[in-house]
Each structure stands twice: as structure tokens, then as C-alpha cells.
Structure 1
Amino acid sequence: MRIRALGVVPGSLPPGPLNAITDVPGVLVGHSTLVGGSVNTGVTAVVPPGYTDGQPGYAGGLPGAIAVGNGYGKLVGSTQVEELGVLETPVLLTGTLSVFRVADALVSWLLARDPAAISLNPVVGETNDGYLSDIRSRPITPEHVFAALDSASAELPAEGNVGAGTGTVALGFKAGIGTASRQVADGVVGVLVQANFSGTLTVLGTPVVPPVEMPVPEGNSCVIIVATDLPLDARQLGRVARRAVFGMGRVGSDFSPGSGDYAIAFSTSRAPAMREYELKGVFQATMEAVEEALLNSLTMATTVTGYNGNTQYAVPHELVSRARRPTPPVV
């Protein structure tokens, strides 16, 4: 169940129609999931507008930025995005040791669509799903990457144990992919997360303690993708990306030194940038959407037994429901 179905409503801003990153017009999401034996992993693709309807891509790129909460990870293509303030490709997520194979396959997919392309900067992030999946096997093939890209749609993305979230865990429970959105300033801020980090799950300020003590897997990380149709330049998107990382604190992240915590933000608008004082609502929308997306990544996940017989249990929904924010009295 998504977190709202459990009566938990993070924040105060209204969500978009799907309450997902795909509420941002033109943004698509696709997954490729690998499950079997010692493998629980996959690929998740976030495809900005420009690669639909047979088009090769977005000429000149889109305004983009990256924020690093803790750099213990592998984010292919990050330095060029930071240097130029431009996102040139879809953003893909996967497991740690498959990130390089995914980046290579993404380049192949892009070159096939644009015969005139000479140089490309693929952006691929990862978290370590090695507790539930044999990451040394590096099972991702180009066909898995192409499947995620080619299946990308504007529908509500699958969440939990799917794509790059198939083998991830967070805050003491099975986690995965989560998404959410907020409407603000005549636009939409959408978020998709790959949750795989440590801490104590916190729902609306209330800690949720596992019913039994469970081991905390190594390899803690989180990748957050923020998309918006609001007119933001690269510098402003950097400010938004930093707030996305801040949003992890709302659900109880301990920001471990071994965690690779990144946020990638991009805008689909080429209109003149918003004024700085208008960003307050955008920051609020970003942190609320991150909070809800992370909670969705947990409540949509199911228990998995995987590599070496390791088991990670889904969060009991009744524990989450108890943290519902009380309705304020009518005055």
C-alpha cells in the first residue's frame, strides 16, 4: 500500500494527479527487474521529455544539477552535469557493480537513436543491493537496460521491489523504489527515490521500531531524482537538489559515513528562471515529495529472502498507521 492509503499524509501541499514523478509533463519511468536464485536487482530509467515519439533527444540538454550529501558511491556523469549545468541523457539507476554496464548500454541506446551524436554524458546512479543480491555476478545486460528505457511510460510507476529497488533495504526494513509529487507555483515537483540507507524509520516525527531485532546490512545509500516543469536554472536546481537530500532526515536517515547520498534535479522548462524569493515553496514541495516517496518505497515493498539466504522484512503496515497525524480540532 502507498503511505496515503495507510492514513499518513506527509506535509501540506497537494500532490499531483498520480502523486508521482510522472506528474511532470513528458517525464517517463520504466523498470527492468531481475529476480531468481541469488539475484534481486534491476534497472530503473527516468526519461525526460525529448526521447519520446521517436525523437533522438533534447537538443542542448536540460537545466540540471547534482547535490552530494555523502559521496560514498558511484554516480557516472556527475562532474559534467555540475560543470555545465546540463543534463544530456535519461537518468538510470541500478545496483553498485552494474552501474558501468548500465552506462555503456545507455550510450549504445542513445547512439542508435541519434546517428549524429558524437559525445554523450550518460548519468547513472546506484545503491548497494548486495545484502539480497549477488552483486559480484553483475547480471545486468544491455537488453535489461533497453527494456527499462523502451518500457518507460507516463503512468504511475511501480514502486517497492521493482527495477533498481528490487534488492534494496532502508531504515531497518525492505525498501525499494518510491515516488511522489507536489503541486506548487503553477507547476509540479516530482520525485523518484532508490532507498537503501540506514537509520530509524520515522513517520511524521514518530519512530517506528522493528518488532524484532534485525541485522542492518552494509552498503547504505540513496539516490533521489527531482523533476519539475517550473522554470529553474542550473544554480537554482542545485539548491533544490540539496533540499532533496535534507528530506532524507524527515524519515530518520542517520546519514552514515558509508552512505552514498545523491540528488539529481532537472527542469523541463526553458522559460526565464523564477525569482529567488519564489523558491521557498519549491523547497517545501521538494522535501515533502522526498519524504513521501521514501515512505512509499517502504510501504510498497514486500519481504524478500535472497542472496546467502538473507531475509529483509517489509515494514508492518499497522506500525506505520499508528503514526498518523491527528486531525486538528475545528475552531
Structure 2
Amino acid sequence: MPLQKGKNNCITDIAGVQVGHVTLYEKLNNEETICTGVTAILPHKGNLFTEKVHAASYVINGYGKASGLIQLDELGLLESPIMLTNTFSVGPVMEGTLQFMLAQNKELGESAGTINIVVGECNDSHLNSIRIQAVTPSHAIEAIQKASSGKVEEGAIGAGKGMMCFGYKGGIGTASRVVTAADEKYTVGCLVLTNFGKRDQALFADFPKLEIPTPDGSIMMVIATDAPLYDRQLKRLAKHTTAGLARTGSHIANGSGDIAIAFSTANKHSHQANGHTESITYIRDSHKVMNQLFQAVIESTEEAIISSLQNAETTEGKKGRVVEKAPLNN
């Protein structure tokens, strides 16, 4: 039985989570078009370095250039916004996010050591003149500053401006689900950056068969929840995005970067704590609510992918290439 959707059916249904976009679109000449952007996901409204959240990642297929996942999985903590952009802009987005966090935390690089910046990417070079490298560090800062907790804008926006999905215009999509345990309700939200798939692979629609010569593509999937989970459990949630992705028809191709990041807003980890021990409350793995959380991840991932298509619009990119909006009802 399908689970209940969240209030706005998006990742910001989890209290405190914010999303911000910066979209770049400019036709420079007949050959070159800037068609890209940056998206920022903030786990809460406070200082992410001093109030870290438990997190984990899962690499389904590793044809990707994400940053920050090694330390994220080693320590199980997220201490920066999760940033999304195009493949060639991981560097400037990391730099801009670092600048933002340095301004917030004067002790970084001094008494507090360093910070781990997390950036995910997909290749938008079919529509975007990616070699121009139009994204700058200031765009990353702007995306963070624009982040809000309202209903998330979807489709060809932010990092999704130049992305494709199943041969149609893709981009940003999001969805959420609510689960119940005893007297407690927990919300799971998913935000995706879609850039994968061929038309004949889609299981949710009978698309006209038209082969567009594009790379295998990628997807970034970000899972947020207010359920009290720690990093090992969050990795289990991240793994279940695979089922939601497969439900849409993805083959998880050889040249595809399919990466999931999951975090919980419960049990924040204080950087400034002095004690040598720490206690947290978390859901028992054997409790039936864990299966509901897995189901919530699967359903919200599947719907977020389809929503990225439903909310995108026909877009013209470099060399006069046009990628159409998918013939799907909202």
C-alpha cells in the first residue's frame, strides 16, 4: 500500500531542510549556450560545521566526480551544504561553498582544522557549453544564500537547467513520504538531479522511440529524514534509492554516475562538545518502521525522478539542440 505524501511532497517537508537554486542561461552565439546552474541542499538553518548531522553515501555506479564522499562515509557526518552542479564545475562550487563556510567559522584552518565540502555532479554537455565553465564560486554562495524551506522549484532549474532524462528534459525533482511508528510520525524526502536513460527504457510511460546521441548520463539522489538514524542506518536508506531508480527503468549504465547521499536532521552532532563519549537515540533495525522508511525512500525516489520530467520545459541549448518536455501529465 502506498505511503502518505508529505505536506508539499518535497524534501523541505523535513523541518529545517532548505533548498536554493542559481540558474544560468545565456545564448552566446549560434554555437555556444550557457545552460547550467547550481543547487544547494541545507540540512538545517544553523551553522552546519558546528552542528553536523549524521549522514552516509552509497555509490551504485561510480562513473562520477563527486567530492567529499570519502570523509562523509569515514566519519558518518555531514558538515556542509550538499551542492549539485555540472561535471566541470565541481571545483568552483567547492571553492564557493568553502568561502561561505570560512566566513561563518573563523576557526577553520586554525584551531578547528579543516572542513569537508560535499559536491555532486552530472554531465550537462549535450545542452550546456560545459567547456566555458560558466559557474563561478559566487554562484555557489548565491545558491546557499537563496536556500529556503518553502516548496522546491523543480525541472530545468539550478543544477538541472541543462540535464536530460529518458531522452527528454530532466533536472531537479523532489517528493516525500510520511511513516508512523507508535505515536511518532517521520518524514522522508528525496531530491534528485536526473540526467540518465533512453526513451525505450522508461517503465512509467510509452514514449515515442527516438534515439538521441548522448552520454550514458548520471543521477544524484539526496535523501533527508527526521527519523533518528545514525550513519550505518542512513547508508541502508541510501542503498534503497537503487530500487526507486530501477522502478523508473534505469539500466544503471556503464558510463553513469549513480550516487545517493542520505542524512538525518535528528541527533545533531556538536563540533564543540568536550566529552569523550556521546549518546544518541536511534530506531531499532528490527522495528517494523525501518521497512516503512525503506519503502518511503523507494517511493519518493521514483516519484522525484518522474517529477523532474513533469516540471521541466522544452529547452534550447548549444549548437541549436532542443530537448523537449516529456509528454507527461502532472
The answer to whether 1:316 aligns with 2:327 is yes
Could you say what secondary structure the match of 1:22 adopts?
A: helix
Q: Does the CA contact (< 8 Å) of 1:248 and 1:291 recur in 2? A: yes
Aligned equivalent of 2:247: 250
Report which stretch shifted further, 238-247 or 56-65. 56-65
AA partner of residue 224 (structure 1)? M
Q: Does the CA contact (< 8 Å) of 1:44 and 1:94 recur in 2? A: yes
Aligned equivalent of 1:21: 11
Distance across 2 between alignment mates of 1:60 and 1:154: 18
Distance across 2 between alignment mates of 1:272 and 1:56: 22
The answer to whether 1:276 aligns with 2:276 is no
AA partner of residue 220 (structure 1)? G
Task: Return closer, same or farther for 1:214/1:305 CA change in 2, 3 Å cut-off.
Answer: farther
Q: What per-residue deviation string (whole Å, max 9, x for no partner) do you get for residues 274-296 of structure 1?
A: 11123100000000000110010
Q: Does the CA contact (< 8 Å) of 1:178 and 1:294 recur in 2? A: yes
Question: Which of residues 165, 178, 195 in structure 1 aligns to 2:160?
Answer: 165
Distance across 1 between alignment mates of 2:126 and 2:89: 15
Aligned equivalent of 2:207: 209
The structural deviation recorded for 1:209 is 1.8
Question: Which of residues 30, 37, 43 in structure 2 aligns to 1:42?
Answer: 37
The structural deviation recorded for 1:218 is 1.0
Q: CA RMSD in A?
A: 1.4
Q: Does the CA contact (< 8 Å) of 2:94 and 2:117 recur in 1? A: yes
Identity, % of aligned positions: 40
The structural deviation recorded for 1:112 is 0.5
Q: Could you list the runs of 5+ residues in structure 1 that have no partner in the other structure?
A: 1-10, 322-331
Q: What per-residue deviation string (whole Å, max 9, x for no partner) do you get for residues 207-241 of structure 1?
A: 4222x524141150000000000001100000000
Could you say what secondary structure the match of 2:35 adopts?
A: strand
Aligned equivalent of 1:73: 64
Q: Does the CA contact (< 8 Å) of 1:67 and 1:242 recur in 2? A: yes
The answer to whether 1:287 aligns with 2:298 is yes
TM-score between the two structures when normalised by the length of structure 1:
0.88
AA partner of residue 55 (structure 2)? G
Q: What per-residue deviation string (whole Å, max 9, x for no partner) do you get for residues 140-196 of structure 1?
A: 112211111001000011100000000000112111100000001311001100000
Q: Does the CA contact (< 8 Å) of 1:127 and 1:219 recur in 2? A: no
Could you say what secondary structure the match of 1:89 adopts?
A: coil
Report which stretch shifted further, 188-197 or 216-225. 216-225
AA partner of residue 229 (structure 2)? L
Within 5 Å, give how 1:41-120 maps onto structure 2. 41-49=36-44, 52=45, 55-59=46-50, 61-118=52-109, 119-120=114-115
Aligned equivalent of 2:234: 237
The structural deviation recorded for 1:58 is 4.7
Distance across 2 between alignment mates of 1:144 and 1:261: 25
Distance across 2 between alignment mates of 1:28 and 1:208: 35
Q: Does the CA contact (< 8 Å) of 1:128 and 1:219 recur in 2? A: no
The structural deviation recorded for 1:59 is 2.6
The answer to whether 1:142 aligns with 2:137 is yes
Q: Does the CA contact (< 8 Å) of 1:189 and 1:282 recur in 2? A: yes
Distance across 2 between alignment mates of 1:311 and 1:296: 20
Q: Does the CA contact (< 8 Å) of 1:198 and 1:216 recur in 2? A: no
Distance across 2 between alignment mates of 1:219 and 1:93: 18
Q: Could you list the runs of 5+ residues in structure 2 that have no partner in the other structure?
A: 28-32, 268-279
Distance across 2 between alignment mates of 1:260 and 1:113: 32
TM-score between the two structures when normalised by the length of structure 2:
0.88
Q: Does the CA contact (< 8 Å) of 2:40 and 2:84 recur in 1? A: yes
The structural deviation recorded for 1:56 is 3.1
